[in-house]
């Protein structure tokens, strides 16, 4: 583990505390223009999801809708609250072939994308200590009077995520400020996810708001128009 990763892991609660965690459950509202492009509107406005911290698994309940999705790397499922399956898809990543930004999604597309995204976000930065990950510190950047150190993480092939190489920017306190990436299933356009409003939940420090922006020419973005806005309410560590 390199020095920057060690500092980031310590700032977010430490490796010893994280090893005691089996799952993180979050009540959240996820909104933004992106979901309307995908014909999903306010589908994620009131959800509760549980992230497994030792394997790639995420379940999501749609509050008041008697609907749950289950994401695993090779399969996604939509089911009722009583576990009755109403839809499933094996090798779900293949179903995005030929998609454009405006291509509508069904519930299984939504389950795959939200599953791989939220699982990555909630396991950062502890995830990068797993076997198969490689990390490298890049040159720092200056943002709004702060020096942000940047960690390039290369994901192993068996982990489903936005793209293989992603960059994570950490402030002087070691906490995540920004996550830079492209999304392969959306054609690879650059995006940024800004993290803030940190909360200490039973010894694990989690950013409770995230805002994602597509970058314009010159790497500019419009702060008032996030593509995705993630706002977390109650968080439970188990």
Q: How many Cβ atoms from other residues are within 10 Å of residue 57's Cβ?
A: 16
- Residues 77 and 81: their CA atoms lie apart, in Å, by 12
SS3 label, residue 230: strand
Write out pLDDT tens, residues 64-99: 999 999 999 999 999 998 899 999 999 999 999 999
The count of domains in the chain is: 1
Give the pLDDT band of residue 218 (cuts 50, 70, 90). Answer: very low
Write out pLDDT tens, residues 93-135: 999 999 988 899 999 999 999 999 999 999 999 999 999 999 9
Cα R_g (the chain), whole angstroms: 17
Write out pLDDT tens, residues 46-63: 999 999 999 999 999 999
- Stretch among 35-49, 149-163, 219-233 having the lowest mean pLDDT: 219-233
pTM of whole model > 0.85? yes
- Residues 18 and 224: their CA atoms lie apart, in Å, by 34
Q: Which residues contact 103 (CB under 8 A, 6 or more apart)?
A: 38
Which strand (E) or helix (H) includes residue 27?
A: strand 23-31
Instruction: Answer for the pair 205, 18: CB distance below 8 angstroms, yes or no.
Output: no
Domain that holds residue 184: 3-237
Instruction: Answer for the pair 134, 151: CB distance below 8 angstroms, yes or no.
Output: no
- The CATH number assigned to the domain holding 214 equals 2.50.20
Checking if the pLDDT of 25 tops 90, the result is: yes
Q: Which residues is 211 bridged to in the sheet?
A: 194, 229
């Amino acid at each position: 583990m390199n020095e920057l990763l060690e500092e980031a892991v310590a700032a977010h609660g430490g490796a010893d505390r994280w090893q005691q965690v089996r799952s993180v459950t979050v009540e959240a509202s996820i909104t933004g223009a992106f979901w309307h492009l995908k014909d999903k509107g306010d589908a994620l406005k009131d959800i509760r999801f549980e992230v497994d911290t030792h394997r790639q698994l995420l379940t999501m309940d749609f509050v008041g809708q008697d609907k749950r999705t289950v994401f695993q790397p090779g399969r996604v499922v939509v089911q009722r609250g009583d576990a009755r399956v109403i839809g499933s898809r094996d090798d779900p990543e293949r179903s995005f072939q030929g998609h454009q930004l405006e291509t509508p999604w069904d519930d299984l597309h939504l389950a795959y994308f939200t599953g791989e995204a939220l699982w990555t976000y909630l396991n950062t930065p502890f995830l990068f200590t797993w076997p198969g990950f490689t990390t490298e510190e890049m040159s720092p950047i200056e943002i709004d009077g702060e020096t942000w150190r940047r960690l390039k993480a290369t994901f192993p092939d068996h982990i489903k995520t936005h793209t293989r190489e992603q960059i994570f920017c950490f402030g002087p306190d070691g906490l995540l400020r920004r996550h830079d990436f492209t999304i392969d299933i959306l054609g690879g356009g650059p995006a940024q996810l800004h993290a803030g409003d940190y909360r200490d939940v039973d010894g694990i420090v989690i950013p409770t708001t995230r805002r994602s922006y597509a970058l314009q020419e010159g790497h500019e973005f419009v702060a008032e128009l996030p593509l995705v806005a993630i706002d977390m309410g109650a968080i439970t560590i188990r």
